[in-house]
Structure 1
Amino acid sequence: MQPKIRALVFDMDGLLFDSEKVVQKSWYIAGERLGYPNVGDHIYHTLGFNVVRRSRYFRETFGEEFPVETFNQMTREIFYELKETEGVPKKPGVDELLSYAKEEGYLLAVATSSGEAYSRTLLKEGGIWDYFDAAVFGDMVTHAKPDPEIYLKACEKLGVKPSEAAALEDSPNGIRSAYAAGMYPIVIPDLVRPDEEIKSLSTWQCESLFDVISILKEK
């Protein structure tokens, strides 16, 4: 039996935008400057974390002396420099999927672990902000992914039950979050390929956002 889906909730970094690679590059640069080489390797363990949870990870991994506040500020500045010089492109199929979903009457939301100011800027500059009926940002929740809080809030804002919504995610923690919320997780991998656990939690596995259009057309 095909699920009845009324809403689509999107992660942002690595899903709508090819931004995780830019973030990773900013981590490598900042880490080198601060004497912590290869910090960028750790992005694979923190995908889906908000800044509070990520800061805790850094201290647990590198020790309490790790200069979290300096690192966070430095990576923000480097990210925006890279954004201006190299750009942060949208992922293939973003415009097509959002346009199709809107035309078909789906409710749309963003549920991102990133902060509101950064997220609004990226979504508006990418020309896709107006597609969304609701948004929940990382600084609006107490518990980061894989906790389901952010997805439950997104469904609440849209006025739908989690069982009426699909969540589009690239990261393992995002898939875990959506599954725990009782939604239909769709995994579209970016930096990390899904392992057997993530495959088992995902209702659908796609290679691009174009594949999601095909899924919706079958419903």
Structure 2
Amino acid sequence: MTAIKACLFDLDGVIVDTAVYHYKAWKQLANSLGFDFTEHQNEQLKGVSRVRSLELILGWGGVTKIADEQHELATLKNTWYVEMISKMTPAEILPGAKAYLEECRAAGLKIALGSASKNSPLILERTGLTSHFDAVIDGNSVTKAKPDPEVFLKGAEALGVQPNECVVFEDAVAGIAAAIAGGMKSVGIGSPELLGDADVVVTGLDKMTVGMLNTL
């Protein structure tokens, strides 16, 4: 068995929970266009890019917009979202996440962020976690969305390790699929029913130890 040398973490739903802010911003946009947006629909946007999320929402609302209009709407949603996350604090780090990052560091593991969010640097800054990561690969660094493994492969490259020496922590089906496609081990954060393809599933990083990585 290849020894794990690096941990690659998704951000939303793993380290912090910004889903509520995405939901509020998308809902505000949908309402401005004359229709509603539900929490159930929001769940279907996990791990999905901003552009694709907008396409889905417009489809649910029965609204058609040309490309330029879609770009304006996506930008508007992001403006509202950034206003919200600019007020985040370290109190919004998910239970056990900071402690687990520190445990990984103490064990000599390399640590990278692998997130679709283009706002990852701001979120890390606001929550005081920037220094906990050796590399940040986010929506500004990649051209292909999960389940394509690009974000995690770039993370491994930035850390100077091979893909099979990495374990990915993800809360989205597309993220687990990306880890598998990249030849990496994976830990699902959430429901075993949804994330059953992961090597192991836990409810949060507060349920993880570095020792558990040796069993993957």
**Counterpart Cα distance in 1 of 2:88 and 2:122:** 16
Which residue in the other structure is 1:73 paired with? 75
TM-score normalised to structure 1 length: 0.85
Which residue in the other structure is 1:97 paired with? 100
**Counterpart Cα distance in 2 of 1:59 and 1:49:** 15
Q: Give identity over the alignment, percent.
A: 27
**Counterpart Cα distance in 2 of 1:30 and 1:103:** 43
Following superposition, the deviation at residue 188 of structure 1 comes to 0.7
Structure 1 vs Structure 2 CA RMSD: 2.4
In the TM superposition, what are the counterparts of 1:1-219 in structure 2 within 5 Å? 4-38=3-37, 41-58=40-57, 62=62, 64-65=64-65, 67-83=69-85, 89-115=92-118, 118-189=119-190, 193-195=191-193, 198-199=195-196, 201-213=197-209, 215-216=211-212
Match of 1:212, as an amino acid? M
**Counterpart Cα distance in 2 of 1:20 and 1:59:** 19
Which segments of 5 or more consecutive residues in structure 2 lack a partner in the other structure?
A: none
Match of 1:5, as an amino acid? I
Structure 1, residues 91-143: CA drift from partner, whole Å, max 9, x if none? Answer: 1111101111111100000000011xx21111012111111111111132121
Evaluate the alpha carbon distance shift between residue 215 and residue 42 of structure 1 in structure 2; reply closer, same or farther with a 3 A threshold: farther
Evaluate the alpha carbon distance shift between residue 28 and residue 63 of structure 1 in structure 2; reply closer, same or farther with a 3 A threshold: closer
Evaluate the alpha carbon distance shift between residue 83 and residue 139 of structure 1 in structure 2; reply closer, same or farther with a 3 A threshold: closer
**Number of aligned residue pairs:** 211
Evaluate the alpha carbon distance shift between residue 218 and residue 83 of structure 1 in structure 2; reply closer, same or farther with a 3 A threshold: same
Which segments of 5 or more consecutive residues in structure 1 lack a partner in the other structure?
A: none
Return 163-172 or 31-40, whichever deviates more. 31-40
The SS at the match of 1:168 is strand
Contact 2:86 2:122 in 1 (8 A): no
TM-score normalised to structure 2 length: 0.86
**Counterpart Cα distance in 1 of 2:9 and 2:87:** 27
Following superposition, the deviation at residue 161 of structure 1 comes to 1.1
Evaluate the alpha carbon distance shift between residue 30 and residue 64 of structure 1 in structure 2; reply closer, same or farther with a 3 A threshold: closer
Match of 1:172, as an amino acid? V
Contact 1:30 1:75 in 2 (8 A): yes
